[in-house]
Amino acid sequence: MVCQKIINVSGEINKDRLNYLSNFINSKLAEKNVNITNLNNILMDELDKIISFQERFNHIHSFLEECFNIGYSENKVYLDGRINIMKHPEFKEIDKLNYILSLIEEENILAATIRRYLGFRKTKIIIGKESKLKEMQDCSLVTSEYSIKGKPAGAIGILGPTRMNYPRMVSIAEYISDKLSEILSEF
């Protein structure tokens, strides 16, 4: 059965998003036991995911605007999510927490650590003692370089416990650095 319906929307929707939505709906309709209520629930779940992604993207966009309004500095480290470090059991001990917080607050040390690994490859994983910093013995740092029109401009870094989900963190860092490179190269 084929059903066609014209839907009026406010604003513009690009062709890629319409194709994605069409393919998504078609794939869900191809599943067994899909009725209109189930499809509505599935679409609402997908919409929630899209809204959540958009909110995160808006947060990153605001953060980047703030960074570039401040002005670029070779030693400047722009931080976000510091409070999240305290959620990890590795940093429940006050001494370990103090080490990592001092590393985060001492921007020159963190900038030098990141800069030391720039230019070798796009993405780098520094695990614990590899950094040679006492403050990072219980941490790992995943960095991914971003560029402006093909020229290296900086790096995105994710600092976390050594037991972090490396494939996921690498994927996130590379995605953000790729998008950042794309956005910065447009100007």
Q: Determine the Cα angle at 41 with ends 37 and 42, to 5°.
A: 115
Ordered by start, the domain boundaries in the chain are 15-68, 74-185
CA dihedral sign of residues 125, 126, 128, 130: positive
C-beta separation of 126 from 141 below 8 A? yes
Q: What is the pLDDT of residues 44-69, one digit of tens each?
A: 777 777 766 667 666 666 666 665 55
CATH topology of domain 74-185: Beta-Lactamase (3.30.450)
Q: What is the pLDDT of residues 69-93, one digit of tens each?
A: 544 455 566 666 667 777 777 777 7
Query: Per-residue DSSP letters for 16-65?
Result: HHHHHHHHHHHHHHHSTT--HHHHHHHHHHHHHHHHHHHHHHHHHHHHHH
